[in-house]
A and B are shown apart, each in its own frame.
Chain A
């Protein structure tokens, strides 16, 4: 399949009072047209910042120091501000985490939906509103024409998230970045939104990057999963490989932490001991080493590179950054 997005060695850091906070440390991955990628990690592991860096949607304190992002072969990291604005409005759609605060309370749903296309596609407001109504129907909002004329507070959380999705789709983007779009919603609505995104993806043939900290949510939804830790990509493989034969101790820990129905009442839920690394100082070794049960000496002195090994299913390689060979349980040379 044709490549839509290619990210090479991306570094993003934040300027803070006493130096720099290294949020993204050399992230590389690619995305095919129509492919769906899940990005997983704990809070503060750099998953949101790295995906926001793709379209340079960063606070002023952040800067991309290295690397390049190629969307359809066009370098976004070095593009002009106006070009980035145009790309945001036409090729990339964003769905945000908190639908309750992501809509301007002073603007009607309709006005807000068409903001992007009126500006970027130079179509009339009436045409844009028709288009908006069409997409509202597509995301499952009944009485769409009436809703266009309402304010965000008149909608429920699930409906607002549907509006956010419609807003992201309205530009007919080739890439949609969904930043934990279901975190603020309850479980039934979450399932509805997941189903919605799956069906829309088939219908519109978009590439989707779905950021989440909930590995179980991605099952049956995405094609590939990328696991991030401390601003590094630690593992990346197709869905089945990640679930059935994870190769990084962090991924193994994440999968073990998913409570199942078989978990006995009263027993402790499994967890990964320790906390995510401090991003102020760059680690000399593997960022996960302090919490890792498979740790060997080399882990503390050298950062393992992301290396490809043959995948168990399919021909896509399984990429992992670990000094320990989890298949053979030996130390790599």
Chain B
């Protein structure tokens, strides 16, 4: 046996797991559709102010409820505002809410879940109890309660501060919606992430391949990096994708019900709510935000499915 014969054949390239997964993801057509749409959504959300043909607030009362045309691609609403511009700004609202909710819930969830899974025993029992309690809180009810109990006093206090000090900081109360409503959403959405990471760590810690690596004398830091994290990360990435979509839909639902982002800040939810009042006469007012919301939801679920398959080598053919 010569050394030459042992060399790896040239045509067989070594790919990392991430690259392998990406190749698999791209091979899945629906996932690519989802990915393109999601990337497009983020692009629109980030560069929104440069893309909107009109100011999303400017009203043209002579051109109310106009159907789609070259001047207004998605038409105008009942105050003569350009619907395309409002949909674009609505995507900003959705993405901000989606990201803040998911990242907050992820940070809390990962921390508590990993803590429970790693230490076990009483710590774990307490965290599981906390998860159960939190999951029993209905999110809609919580958001409504916060809306009626915490938000008005805070907004009033800020108004008073503005009058008293003249500080511009207190003038804009819109971000209070974001922080209060969706901060509270994050506070009750973390259990799902916590449960995922806890289960992952619990099962992987006792897996035979971790023991096998220990038997080879692989150091702990390397075991965590090469064995525990790759095996745990798949479900987390899938969770992020699914949770982003879910959070955006939740934001729309709350705004639709009037407990989310307040007009005139556009959200797909409050636009759908507006359109619903006049849809028999002007269906385009409802159609645009509803269609965008539907497409975004489907895109995230395609992407999530594709990621799930791509990140799991056991499902590869």
A87 to B17, CA, bound (A): 30
Q: Is the CB of A146 within 8 A of B314?
A: no
Partner of B211, one of A96, A129, A167: A96
Q: Report A-chain residues with C-beta under 8 Å of the C-beta of B222.
A: 115, 119
Give the residue name and chain of the B residue nearest to A134 (CB).
B6
Q: Is the CB of B208 within 8 A of A98?
A: yes
Task: Please judge, given known A-B contacts A137-B1, A153-B313, whether A115 and B213 are in contact too, CB under 8 Å.
Answer: yes
A116-152 contacts to B, CB under 8 A, are 116, 119-120, 129-130, 133-134, 137, 145-146, 148-149, 151
* Selected interface stretch from A25-33, A104-112, A270-278: A104-112
Give the residue name and chain of the A residue nearest to B211 (CB).
A57
Task: Please judge, given known A-B contacts A106-B17, A151-B316, whether A134 and B1 are in contact too, CB under 8 Å.
Answer: yes
A84 to B217, CA, bound (A): 8
Q: Report B-chain residues with C-beta under 8 Å of the C-beta of A85.
A: 217, 219
Interface of B is mostly: helix
Max chain A Cβ within 10 angstroms of own Cβ: one of B6, B12, B230, B231: B6
Q: Report A-chain residues with C-beta under 8 Å of the C-beta of B23.
A: none
Q: Is the CB of B217 within 8 A of A88?
A: yes
Q: Is the CB of A94 within 8 A of B217?
A: no
Q: Is the CB of B217 within 8 A of A130?
A: no
CB of B279 closer than 8 Å to a CB of A: no
Q: Report B-chain residues with C-beta under 8 Å of the C-beta of A9.
A: none
Task: Name B residues whose Cβ lies closer than 8 Å to a Cβ of A.
Answer: 1, 3, 6-9, 12, 14, 17, 207-209, 211-219, 222, 226-227, 230-231, 313-314, 316
Task: Please judge, given known A-B contacts A130-B3, A149-B14, whether A115 and B218 are in contact too, CB under 8 Å.
Answer: yes
Give the residue name and chain of the A residue nearest to B313 (CB).
A151
Q: Is the CB of A106 within 8 A of B231?
A: yes
Q: Is the CB of A119 within 8 A of B217?
A: yes
Q: Is the CB of B218 within 8 A of A116?
A: yes
User: How many Å from the CB of B255 to the closest CB on chain A?
Assistant: 40
Interface of A is mostly: helix
Q: Report B-chain residues with C-beta under 8 Å of the C-beta of A89.
A: 216-218
User: How many Å from the CB of B23 to the closest CB on chain A?
Assistant: 13
> How extensive is the interface on chain A, given as a class?
35 or more
CB of A101 closer than 8 Å to a CB of B: yes
Q: Report B-chain residues with C-beta under 8 Å of the C-beta of A86.
A: 217
CB of A102 closer than 8 Å to a CB of B: yes
A104 to B218, CA, bound (A): 13
CB of A90 closer than 8 Å to a CB of B: yes
Q: Is the CB of A119 within 8 A of B218?
A: yes
Q: Is the CB of B314 within 8 A of A88?
A: no
Task: Please judge, given known A-B contacts A98-B208, A146-B12, whether A104 and B213 are in contact too, CB under 8 Å.
Answer: yes
7 new A-B contacts at CB < 8 Å, known A104-B209, A108-B14, A149-B8? A57-B211, A94-B216, A104-B230, A107-B17, A115-B222, A116-B216, A164-B212
A88 to B14, CA, bound (A): 28
Q: Report B-chain residues with C-beta under 8 Å of the C-beta of A104.
A: 209, 213, 226-227, 230-231
Q: Is the CB of B216 within 8 A of A145?
A: no
A115 to B217, CA, bound (A): 9
Give the residue name and chain of the A residue nearest to B219 (CB).
A85
CB of A77 closer than 8 Å to a CB of B: no
Give the residue name and chain of the A residue nearest to B209 (CB).
A104
A104 to B8, CA, bound (A): 22
CB of A103 closer than 8 Å to a CB of B: yes
Max chain B Cβ within 10 angstroms of own Cβ: one of A87, A98, A101, A104: A104
A44 to B228, CA, bound (A): 28
CB of A225 closer than 8 Å to a CB of B: no
Q: Report B-chain residues with C-beta under 8 Å of the C-beta of A182.
A: none
Partner of B208, one of A90, A96, A130, A167: A96
Q: Report A-chain residues with C-beta under 8 Å of the C-beta of B313.
A: 105-106, 151, 153
Q: Report A-chain residues with C-beta under 8 Å of the C-beta of B207.
A: 101
A286 to B231, CA, bound (A): 46
Q: Report A-chain residues with C-beta under 8 Å of the C-beta of B12.
A: 145-146, 149
A142-187 contacts to B, CB under 8 A, are 145-146, 148-149, 151, 153, 164, 167, 171
CB of A55 closer than 8 Å to a CB of B: yes
Q: Report A-chain residues with C-beta under 8 Å of the C-beta of B231.
A: 104-106
Q: Report B-chain residues with C-beta under 8 Å of the C-beta of A130.
A: 3, 6-7
Give the residue name and chain of the B residue nearest to A151 (CB).
B313
Q: Is the CB of A101 within 8 A of B208?
A: yes
Q: Is the CB of A116 within 8 A of B217?
A: yes
Q: Report A-chain residues with C-beta under 8 Å of the C-beta of B215.
A: 55, 57, 88, 92-94, 96
User: How many Å from the CB of B74 to the closest CB on chain A?
Assistant: 45
Q: Report B-chain residues with C-beta under 8 Å of the C-beta of A134.
A: 1, 6
Q: Is the CB of A145 within 8 A of B8?
A: yes
Q: CB-defined interface of A38-79 with B at 8 Å, one 1/0 digit per residue?
A: 000000000000000001010000000000000000000000
A21 to B231, CA, bound (A): 32
Q: Would you mind naming 28 contact pairs between A and B with Cβ atoms under 8 Å apart?
A: A57-B214, A85-B217, A88-B214, A88-B215, A88-B217, A90-B217, A93-B215, A94-B212, A94-B215, A101-B209, A102-B212, A104-B213, A104-B230, A105-B209, A105-B314, A107-B17, A115-B222, A116-B216, A116-B217, A119-B218, A119-B222, A120-B217, A129-B8, A130-B7, A133-B6, A149-B8, A153-B313, A164-B212
Q: Report B-chain residues with C-beta under 8 Å of the C-beta of A90.
A: 217
Q: Is the CB of B217 within 8 A of A87?
A: yes
Q: Report A-chain residues with C-beta under 8 Å of the C-beta of B1.
A: 134, 137
